[in-house]
Chain A
Amino acid sequence: MKVIRGAVDEMWSIIGQMTSSVFRHGLPLTDKIAARTALTNFVLHIHPVRVRRSWIRMSYTLCLGGLTFFLFIVLTVTGLYLMFYYVPSINHAYQDMRDLQFVVTFGGLIRNMHRWAAHAMVITVWLHMARVFLTGAYKKPREFNWGIGTVLLLITLLLSFTGYLLPWDQLSIWAVTVGTNMAKYAPIAGPYTRYLMLGGHAVGDATLLRFYVMHVVGLPLVGFLLMVVHFWRVRKDGFSGGL
């Protein structure tokens, strides 16, 4: 009996050690432990430990920057799911889209979420910019972060644009044809830029691969690195709230 009780106690203590090893802090029962939670937790450490109430008022930020980042995460996750079924070749792409829509479990839902989240991200990133402008939050010492934000806005547009081609339907091929034709008008570099984007003179197999690679690796990587700097500067320059 005693042996069994000993064994059970031992098991509980092992389970306790396992669960407590996940978090580097206890339950946030006091302010001190709550502060340590924000400080030592990997997911939470990008937040400041202490904030002024006015900084985090929803009527000030409208959560727009945070929602933009959250949409980026949603797009990454749903995008991964789509990548399992999608082959970026003109012989497969369209049929893969049909399969995603009609055959793959949750394929249609995930594709819809990816599509609408992308549109939503373009909108939230614009609104975030508008909010930052209207509250004058770009002023010293945040001039540089405003510049990074502008580049992130452009990357969002490019991500959305490269994704537009991938379904390989009549909407995508002609939208991208119209879009890349705009690049043609730049003096001297224009035609070369267009050739570089398309991998040829017209939208085709090479274009699909280029847009795919930029869409799933190139632009998200650059975007992610700039986001890291963007958030780091928000922390270091201080929250702009408290208007």
Chain B
Amino acid sequence: MATEAADRIAARQRVEARRRQLEAPTTVRDDSEDEMIVSFPEFIFKEFIAAVAMTVFLVVVSIFLQAPLLGQANPGVTPNPSKAPWYFLGLQELLSRFPPLMAGVAFPTFVIVLMILVPFLDRNPSRRPSERKVAIILFALYMAIVVALVIIGTFFRGHEFIWDWGWVLGNPQTCGGRAC
């Protein structure tokens, strides 16, 4: 009898502890660092430094790296391979593998809608990485697939968009048989 009551009390305590855990802020704050400060100048200074660093980076890159400018547009001469801008190459890669209705329309629409709905689908209230392993693994997988598709489309798709190890390195794009 006594052990049964003890078990019940222990169970209630567990439920209570779990409830408290759920209601409590899930984040552990480092209070020594987390004081209130006036955002000017420290915060604004940080932004300023980031902006200056980015400006310097852009100017230096732009001095040494020329933006591409090929020959004038000619609707009569199709380059081989014809490629979309790099951020759409994942999509082009999908189009080369799956039926166009699926790869070109259904899939991107699905991904965009899914992305907007992410906050409503993810019911886990915690923001701790250790408590949202599934979400993080799924997202990492998604990003890895996107990056892999873009890399394949950029570097490993040569003439007629056929697989070519090191297309960019060895085989130039041709326009009507001649180099562009």
Contact = CB atoms under 8 A, between A and B. Distances in A.
A122 interface: yes
A175 B29 contact: no
Interface in B73-111: 73-75, 77-79, 82-88, 91-92, 95, 100-101, 104-105
Size category of the A interface is 35 or more
B100 A174 contact: no
Interface stretch (A5-13, A53-61, A210-218, A223-231): A53-61
Contacts of A101: 69
Contact of A50 (B39, B75, B95, B125): B39
A51 B62 contact: no
B141 interface: no
B22 interface: no
B126 interface: yes
Interface string A156-178: 01001100100111111111011
A170 B65 contact: no
Interface string A183-214: 11111001000000000001110000000000
Interface string A134-147: 11111110110011
A134 B136 CA distance: 6
Interface of B: 27, 29-30, 33-44, 46-47, 50-51, 54-55, 58-59, 61-63, 65-75, 77-79, 82-88, 91-92, 95, 100-101, 104-105, 112, 115-116, 118-120, 122, 125-129, 132, 135-136, 139, 143, 175, 180
Given A67-B51, A97-B69, 12 more contacts: A47-B44, A50-B38, A51-B36, A112-B65, A116-B58, A133-B118, A146-B116, A170-B79, A171-B79, A182-B91, A185-B104, A242-B29
